[in-house]
Amino acid sequence: GVCVNYARPDVAAAFAVYWGDNSAHNRGLGIPGRQLDSRTVLHAILFALTMANPSRVIEISTTSKYAVRSICYLAGGNHTRGWTCANGDLLDLIARAIQARSAQTVFTFI
């Protein structure tokens, strides 16, 4: 995910989800609401989880330490506290999407 012109009126954030060469599922999309890098990455992850076949393993590769830490290590505590953390709305949706899957979800920090 990328956010350009941060803190300016013309701020814009977008992400790309890559499934493989020439895949019809490859997408690049802008995000709604607050235009922040952290939210852009979370939108990308949520989009990938929503598009993926829930019965097939998915590996999500990201350069965002924030996303990996928030999803893989802090989600339990944030859930207990009612998702009152930063970006709790998206993290809650991501946790629900992962729980709804029958196959493994793997996160790789690159």
Amino acid at 36: L
Predicted local confidence at residue 1, as pLDDT: 60
pLDDT at 4: 61
Domain spans in the chain, listed from the N-terminal domain onward? 2-109
Can you give the pTM of this predicted structure? 0.92
Q: Counting runs of H as helices and runs of E as strands, what totals does the chain give?
A: 4, 5
Residue 10: predicted pLDDT: 73
Quickly name the fold that domain 2-109 has. Nucleotidyltransferase; domain 5 (3.30.420)
* pLDDT values of the chain reduced to their tens digit, one per residue, 110 residues: 665 666 666 788 999 999 999 999 999 999 999 899 999 999 999 999 999 999 999 999 999 999 999 999 999 999 999 999 999 999 999 999 999 999 999 999 99
User: What is the C-alpha to C-alpha distance for residues 71 and 46, in angstroms, rounded to an integer?
Assistant: 11
Q: Where are the beta strands (DSSP E) in the chain?
A: 2-4, 12-17, 27-30, 58-62, 105-109
**Number of other residues whose CB lies within 10 A of the CB of residue 82:** 9
Q: Torsion angle of alpha carbons 81, 87, 89, 90, nearest 10°? A: -120
